[in-house]
Amino acid sequence: MSHMLSDVLEKELKGLRPELSEEVLEGLLRDLSPSEDLPSEVRRAQEEIVIELALSLFDLRLGRTIEGDEVVGLDSQIFGIVRKLRELYAKLLSGQLLYSKGRILCRLEKNLVMDGKDLSKGDLLLVEVGIAFPLVSAGYLTPYSSTTVN
């Protein structure tokens, strides 16, 4: 069982916000290495507990990130994506994106093959919202807004 993960969660609950650096993550993963001496039912139960601990930590940190807390370490990569998605969602619902029939107008930022077609950086596309959001967060698309000027 991951004592390290429960320690990180406990510190988080106390408001200490311990940094999840690469070294800490590697320690967590080493701490999780399964014991071959345990019956498989016990290992599965431990895995479920660890997943619950990790989800609890994610939920706490997500809430704090949304509230504006500083994000560092591994969290800066993961919650940076969440912030981008949050901002994009707000722009969509506030009418700031050029939207039509479930699609938003975007500019391609990197060459990409989509639906078997070679697309080039700078191409303009009408992309389904569910496809556009992850591609925007990955840096492949920039959505046009009602205030975009070229």
* Tens-place pLDDT, residues 7-50: 888 888 898 888 888 888 888 888 877 667 878 888 888 889 88
With b meaning 16 or more CB within 10 Å and e meaning fewer, what string describes 62-89?
Answer: eebbeeeeebebebeeebeebeeeeebe
Q: How confident is the model at residue 107 (pLDDT cuts 50, 70, 90)?
A: very high
Task: Name residues whose C-beta falls within 8 Å of residue 146's C-beta, 6 or more positions apart in sequence.
Answer: 95, 96, 97, 98
* Tens-place pLDDT, residues 119-130: 999 999 999 999
pLDDT at 80 over 80: yes
86 touches 137 (CB < 8 A): no
Q: Model-level pTM greater than 0.85?
A: no
